[in-house]
Amino acid sequence: MNEDFIHKWISQVKKGTLSFIVLNVLKGGKAYYGYDLINEIKKITEIEIAEGTLYPLMNRLKDEKLIKSEWVEQESGIPRKYYSITPEGKNTVTKMEEYWHNLNKSVLKITK
């Protein structure tokens, strides 16, 4: 009955969470291409990211200089755009983690 409200709510919660998750996956230094990122995130977190969500997100992160990208030709198939984190991105993701942990601490305080 209120599935619709919950559904919309989840979509709202994802706002902000996705950039955090993407930066965290890239944090280790390994480069990922878009399609790969979607599958990787789905595998680890069970969160499904629409392609129409990911690509604009990657461009925003790039505009903010938190990640950089590079086209890589494949021996066969479509060229891939590989994304990797910048020092500024690492810096930022650390601050995000701090905020997230505080937020969760607050939520735990309030939900129990």
Contact assessment for residue 13 and residue 66, using Cβ atoms and an 8 Å cutoff: no
Find which of DNA, a second copy, none residue 80 binds, CB within 5 to 8 Å per kind.
Answer: DNA
Cα distances (angstroms) measured from residue 107 to each of 8, 10, 24, 101, 103? 20, 16, 21, 10, 6
Q: Does 42 bind DNA (CB under 7 A)?
A: no
C-alpha span between 56 and 88 (Å, rounded):
20
The one-character DSSP state at 76 is S
Q: Does 84 bind DNA (CB under 7 A)?
A: no
C-alpha span between 107 and 88 (Å, rounded):
29
Q: Does 9 bind DNA (CB under 7 A)?
A: yes
91-93-94-97 Cα dihedral, nearest 10 degrees: 160
Site string for a second copy, 17-56 (x = CB under 8 A): x-xxx--xx------------------xxxx---------
Using the minimum distance from each CB to a second copy, give the nearer residue, 60 or 72: 60
Residues that bind DNA (CB under 7 A): 8-12, 14-19, 33-36, 49-53, 55-60, 74, 76-82
Residues in contact with a second copy by the rule CB under 8 A:
1-2, 5-6, 9-17, 19-21, 24-25, 44-47, 64, 66, 88, 91-92, 95-97, 99-100, 102-104, 106-107, 109-111
